[in-house]
Amino acid sequence: MTALRPPAVAVGRAVASALADGRPLVALESAIITHGLPRPLNLEVAIELEDLLRDLAVVPATVGVVGGVPTVGLSAAELQELAGGVGATKVSVRDLPIVMAQQASGGTTVAATAWLAHHVGIRVFATGGIGGVHRGAAQTFDESADLPMLAQIPITVVCAGVKSILDVPATLERLETLGVTVVGFRTRSFPGFYVTDSGEEIEVSVTGPDEVVNVMAAARALCLPGALVVANPLPEAEQLDPAVHDRIIVEALASAAAEGIRGPAITPYLLDRLYQATGGASLAANIAAVRNNVSLAGRIALAWSAHG
């Protein structure tokens, strides 16, 4: 598997050892560390997520770019450097060659993390939520690079759906068009990241890691090029109040339109409004969702390793 690794990608010692031995691994993104959480909470959560996997006997592989080097399996020092780096860039796939050429550092998005993890041989990836189609995309063509990249990368992504500030129905339509397989984990309702149920339906539900592995194995047998998205809803006890959530989103969208906020600025604006209006509860839901996904991804990685 490691023969697939591009020569420009570094692999951490623990990850390289696990790949060589066939032990279970889970890839983790680092954009949440550099851009998703405030300091010093970002480092605390990053360490917690890695420790959660180690407690399951799974090797964590946090992915990022340090000093221009894309790295799968950041060391403790590299993790701390990214978490404290004021100038860290948010790195998607298109940004990788630029960040490398500039010898800069940055946190990798879902798209870049999936690409790098796959090319060293990692099969399971946990994140908070994948990117999707933005509201108003019919006019702006604003769509996350996560979607086309997931159509090209045979990796299993455990997520809490997509953030509900996005166009969830359009996102599901695009995933279908792109040939990305989506299953719900013990649910037929597609989650909306902060809320357990976005109101959209998933056609297929699986009940445990072994069923996920069966789908993974079938996709491999068919040589399918795309990802398997496992939509893992946030437990209802940890979600934002759906009524409050919906009201805040409507108000924030109207405010953004009135202020002429659009393009790349719209997502951070809406997330900040959601954070302020919920008194920080959206941040707690964010962390709970990631923690929940990492736990499930660890169990899937164990099952996949046992499957062979």
Name every residue whose Cβ is closer than 8 Å to that of residue 45 and which is 6 or more positions away in sequence. Answer: 32, 33, 37, 287, 290
Asked if residue 198 lies in contact with residue 229, where contact means CB atoms within 8 angstroms, the answer is no
CA separation for the pair 12, 60 (Å, rounded)? 10
Reply yes or no on whether 29 is catalytic. yes
Of 50, 78, 143, 163, catalytic: 163
Of 34, 37, 16, 38, nearest in space to 25 by CA: 16
163 is catalytic: yes
The residue among 270, 271, 267 whose CA lies nearest residue 140 is 267
CA distance 33 to 10: 19
Diameter of the chain by CA atoms?
A: 56
Coil, strand, or helix at residue 31?
A: helix
Q: HEC string of 45-75?
A: HHHHHHHHHHHCCCEEEEEEEECCEEEECCC
φ/ψ of residue 176, rounded to 5 = -65, -45
Q: Per the residue annotation, which of 29, 50, 78, 143 is the catalytic one?
A: 29
Euclidean distance between CA atoms 307 and 28, whole angstroms: 22
Cα–Cα distances in Å, from 273 out to 249, 256, 287? 8, 10, 17
Residues noted as catalytic: 29, 163
